[in-house]
């Protein structure tokens, strides 16, 4: 077995956001020793998550035995290759559908909500999009679709949220911010700092990078057994993204991590998020502006290494991360920042050295700390002021459980509060945008009544209230009668009493005492 596997090696442009969630879940996998996010040292940005299951091969002293094992492994690899080919052939049957799904984007426009809602894969901002299937080996590169994302030339310098803010109707209007729309896409790969970064000095490799290289060597050796044409075909099938050869690794674990890599835009826009104006502005400043104005964000203005969002559950932290991801997806691929979203970071980062801390989680945490610090070395400057290449965006409901070392690196700490009166009203409007509402419903009044409710609670109330009229209509009817009901019969306007009933049923999920705890933590550690 290799010491360290290049689990997901993603060249520049293919990775925008990795979401690692419930790291605790990984603890069940005995093989997990190490998890890292690594940037390529060849100036083509790579992000990789690696796992080590090295103890067996490392400890093997007998050379003959080792050789035997390697030869068995190589046979297995060959056999696996055959199986992989067959399965990829099979997966090609699905490709037509996927391309059709992406057609609006391929045509250079965002799918209309109604369009995606009506499609079989209905739009749901609560659901992370499914990962891209592996491209079939036999399908040639499709430059217009590229990474399932086509950005027309005029949009390359202008993310859609900026266009939406400027003029919600016209998507072609240019942003009036100086320096931004005029910015040329650099020909060379850029760091998060923006300017092309030739590697000038020998790179200090982390232990994980060295292990990664070793594993790649192993993989290359076994690959050399493939015929030249096979290899060429394999190169073509990459579609800009090296495929991961999962041979010999825990299948569930590989699948789990693959599932959380986001290769398509989550399609959540700032306008889908009610309120949280301050948080949106801070995230723009921390993540997006440094990419647009790299020359400005230098030295003391260098971008933050990490941003932590904290606040009660259901207040929109994950939604904000999705909006950031959507934004990054819509930017020119050349900028290709690697943003790692770590949800529930507290589950990974309880205070270091605690007796209860699991070895796997300790290593993951150490690697993250190291990567956040080691970035300047990778960019070749060894300068503490150098901008980070990997940006960590994290969220937690329990900021007080976060390790001090990590907290320090998550330099920007944003509080995501319960919605205020205006945001609650905005949330009601957003949730009920497609529902008929009776004249007696006063949204301001309603917004006052749901003070103390989180965004998720309010969404639940709207969901429940919107089904009240249907419940009344179907009451006492047989299944057959229900199925034959005309559509109009169900579309009765929502009444004030429907809301009142829903509010009575659904309690606020956040306790006042919890809010106090957040306030105190922000007073002590907040930085926004
Ligand atoms: N500000 C908001 N605007 C629009 N919808 C919101 C907002 N806040 C919460 N919601 C609704 O609540 C759901 C849950 O929000 P989200 O998952 O982003 O919260 P969270 O803070 O990450 O919660 P948790 O800490 O429990 O993971 C969203 O999918 C959305 O339906």
CA-closest residue to ligand 1 atom 25: 313
Q: Which H helix or E strand runs over 196?
A: none
The share of the chain scoring above pLDDT 90, in percent, equals: 17
Going by CA atoms, what residue is nearest to atom 24 of ligand 1? 313
* Ligand 1 centroid distance, CA of 427 (Å): 11
- What would the mean pLDDT of 485-505 be, rounded to a whole number? 88
Distance CA 204, CA 157 (A): 34
Mean pLDDT on 504-527: 90
Ligand 1 centroid – CA 459 distance (Å): 9
Mean pLDDT of 431-450: 91
pLDDT confidence tier of residue 417, bands split at 50, 70 and 90: very high
The pLDDT of residue 45: 30
pLDDT at res. 315: 94
Residue 311 assigned as binding residue: yes
Over residues 60-75, the mean pLDDT reads 68
- Crossing angle for the helix pair 63-101 and 207-223, nearest 10 degrees? 90
Q: Which ipTM did the prediction report?
A: 0.94
Q: Which domains are seen in the chain, by residue range?
A: 1-418 (3.40.50.300), 421-509 (1.10.8.60)
Alpha-carbon separation of residue 477 from 165, 465, 485 (angstroms): 48, 20, 10
| 273 Cβ closer than 6 Å to some ligand 1 atom | yes
| Cα–Cα distances in angstroms (integers) from residue 441 to residues 291, 323, 378, 438, 517, in the given order | 45, 31, 58, 6, 35
505-508 long-range contacts, Cβ below 8 Å, gap at least 24? Answer: 505/464, 506/457, 506/460, 506/461, 506/464, 507/457, 508/450, 508/452, 508/453, 508/454, 508/457
Determine if ligand 1 sits within 6 Å of the CB of residue 459. Answer: yes
pLDDT band at 219 (very low <50, low <70, confident <90, very high): very low
- 54 within 8 A of 34, measured Cβ to Cβ: no
Does ligand 1 have an atom closer than 6 angstroms to the CB of 33? no
Q: Was 280 annotated as part of a binding site?
A: no
**Residue 240, annotated as binding a ligand:** no
* Averaged pLDDT for residues 455-477: 90
18 CA distance to ligand 1 middle (Å)? 19
Residue 522 is predicted with a pLDDT of 92
265 Cβ closer than 6 Å to some ligand 1 atom = no
Taking CA atoms only, the protein residue closest to ligand 1 atom 30 is 456
For residue 261, the SS3 value is strand
How high is the pLDDT of residue 92?
55
Give the best-scoring range by mean pLDDT among 59-63, 317-321, 447-451: 447-451
Q: Is the CB of 310 under 6 A from ligand 1?
A: no
* Ligand 1 within 6 A of CB of 465: no
| Residue of 463, 15, 487, 50 whose CA lies nearest to 264 | 15
- Per cent of the chain over pLDDT 70 is 44
To the question of whether residue 318 is assigned a binding role by annotation, the answer is: yes
State pLDDT tens for residues 83-123.
777 766 666 554 433 333 333 333 333 333 333 333 434 44
Residues 21-37 pLDDT 10s: 443 333 222 222 222 33
126 lines ligand 1 (CB under 6 A): yes
Q: Report the C-alpha gap between 54 and 21 in whole angstroms.
A: 24
397 lines ligand 1 (CB under 6 A): yes
Beta carbon of 290 within 6 Å of any ligand 1 atom: no
3-state secondary structure 362-423: HHHHHHHHHHHHHHHHHCCCCCCCCCCCEEEEEEECCHHHCCHHHHHHCCEEEECCCCCHHH
317 Cα–ligand 1 center, Å: 6
DSSP 274-316: -S-HHHHHHHIIIIIHHHH-TTTS-GGGPPPSEEEEE-STTSS
CA dist 265 and 129 (Å) reads: 8
Check pocket membership of 314 for ligand 1, CB cut-off 6 A.
yes
- CB of 315 within 6 A of ligand 1: the answer is yes
Q: Give residue 440's pLDDT.
A: 86
Nearest Cα residue to atom 12 of ligand 1: 456
DSSP 155: G
369 Cα: distance to centroid of ligand 1 (angstroms): 28
Task: For a ligand 1 pocket test, name from 127, 318, 506, 518 the mutation site with the most ligand atoms within 8 angstroms of its C-beta.
Answer: 318
For the segment 442-467, the average pLDDT, to the nearest whole number, is 93
Residue of 388 and 414 predicted with greater confidence? 414
What is the Cα–Cα distance from 117 to 131, expressed in whole angstroms?
19
Distance in angstroms between the alpha carbons of the first and the last residue of the chain:
46
Would the annotation count 40 as a binding residue? no
pTM strictly above 0.90 = no
Tokens 């492994």 belong to which residue? 73
| 3-class DSSP assignment, residue 342 | strand
Q: Which two tokens stand for residue 404?
A: 């001090």
The reply to whether ligand 1 has any atom less than 6 angstroms from the CB of 323 is no
Name the residue of 267, 314, 323, 346 to mutate for ligand 1: max ligand atoms within 8 A of Cβ: 314
How far is Cα 321 from Cα 20, in angstroms, rounded to an integer? 12
Q: Do 510 and 454 meet the contact criterion of CB atoms below 8 Å apart?
A: yes
pLDDT digits (tens, 9 = 90+) for 159-196: 333 333 333 322 222 222 222 222 222 333 333 333 33
Q: Which numbered atom of ligand 1 lies nearest the CA of 321?
A: 18
Tell how far the Cα of 78 is from the centroid of ligand 1, in angstroms.
46
In this predicted structure, what is the pLDDT of residue 246? 61
Q: How far is CA 128 from CA 124, 263, 354, in A?
A: 8, 11, 33
């Amino acid at each position: 077995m290799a010491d360290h596997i290049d689990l997901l090696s993603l060249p520049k442009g293919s990775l925008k956001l990795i979401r690692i969630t419930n790291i605790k879940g990984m603890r069940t996998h005995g093989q997990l020793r190490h998890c890292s996010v690594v940037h390529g040292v060849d100036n083509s940005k790579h992000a990789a998550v690696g796992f080590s299951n090295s103890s067996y091969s490392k400890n093997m002293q007998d050379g003959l035995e080792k050789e035997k094992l390697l030869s068995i492994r190589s046979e297995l690899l060959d056999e696996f290759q055959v199986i992989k080919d067959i399965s990829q052939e099979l997966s090609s049957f699905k490709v037509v559908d996927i391309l059709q799904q992406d057609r609006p984007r391929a045509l250079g426009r965002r799918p209309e909500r109604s369009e995606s809602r009506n499609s079989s894969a209905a739009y749901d901002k609560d659901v992370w999009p499914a990962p891209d299937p592996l491209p079939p080996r036999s399908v040639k590169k499709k430059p217009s679709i590229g990474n399932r994302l086509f950005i027309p030339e005029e949009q390359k310098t202008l993310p859609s949220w900026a266009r939406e803010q400027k003029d919600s109707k016209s998507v072609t209007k240019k942003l009036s911010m100086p320096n931004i729309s005029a910015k040329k896409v650099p020909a060379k790969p850029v760091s998060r700092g923006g300017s092309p970064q030739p590697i000038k000095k020998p790179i200090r490799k982390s232990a994980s990078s060295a292990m990664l290289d070793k594993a790649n060597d192993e993989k290359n050796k076994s690959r050399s057994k493939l015929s030249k044409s096979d290899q060429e075909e394999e190169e073509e099938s990459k579609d800009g993204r090296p495929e991961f050869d999962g041979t010999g690794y825990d299948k569930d674990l590989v699948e789990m991590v693959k599932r959380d890599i986001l290769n398509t835009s989550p399609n959540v826009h700032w306008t889908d998020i009610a309120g949280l104006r301050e948080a949106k502005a801070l995230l723009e400043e921390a993540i997006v502006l440094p990419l647009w104005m790299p020359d400005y964000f230098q030295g003391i203005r260098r971008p933050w290494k990490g941003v932590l969002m904290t606040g009660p559950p259901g207040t929109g932290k994950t939604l904000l991360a999705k909006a950031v991801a959507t934004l990054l997806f819509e930017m020119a691929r050349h900028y290709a920042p690697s943003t790692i979203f770590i949800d529930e970071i507290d589950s990974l980062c309880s205070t270091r050295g605690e007796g209860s801390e699991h070895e796997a989680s300790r290593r993951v945490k150490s690697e993250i700390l190291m990567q956040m610090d080691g970035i300047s070395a990778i960019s070749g400057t060894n300068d503490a002021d150098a901008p980070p290449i990997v940006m960590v965006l994290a969220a937690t409901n329990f900021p007080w459980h976060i390790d001090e070392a990590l907290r320090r690196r998550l330099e920007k700490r944003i509080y995501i509060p319960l919605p205020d009166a205006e945001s609650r009203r905005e949330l009601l409007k957003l949730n009920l945008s497609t529902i008929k509402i009776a004249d007696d419903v006063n949204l301001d009044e309603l917004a006052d009544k749901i003070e103390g409710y989180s965004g998720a609670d309010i969404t639940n109330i709207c969901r429940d209230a919107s089904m009240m009229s249907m419940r009344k209509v179907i009451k006492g009817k047989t299944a057959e009668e229900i199925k034959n009901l005309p559509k109009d019969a169900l579309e009765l306007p929502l009444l004030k009493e429907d809301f009142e009933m829903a509010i009575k049923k659904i309690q606020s999920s956040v306790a006042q005492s919890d809010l106090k705890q957040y306030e105190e933590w922000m007073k002590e550690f907040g930085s926004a």
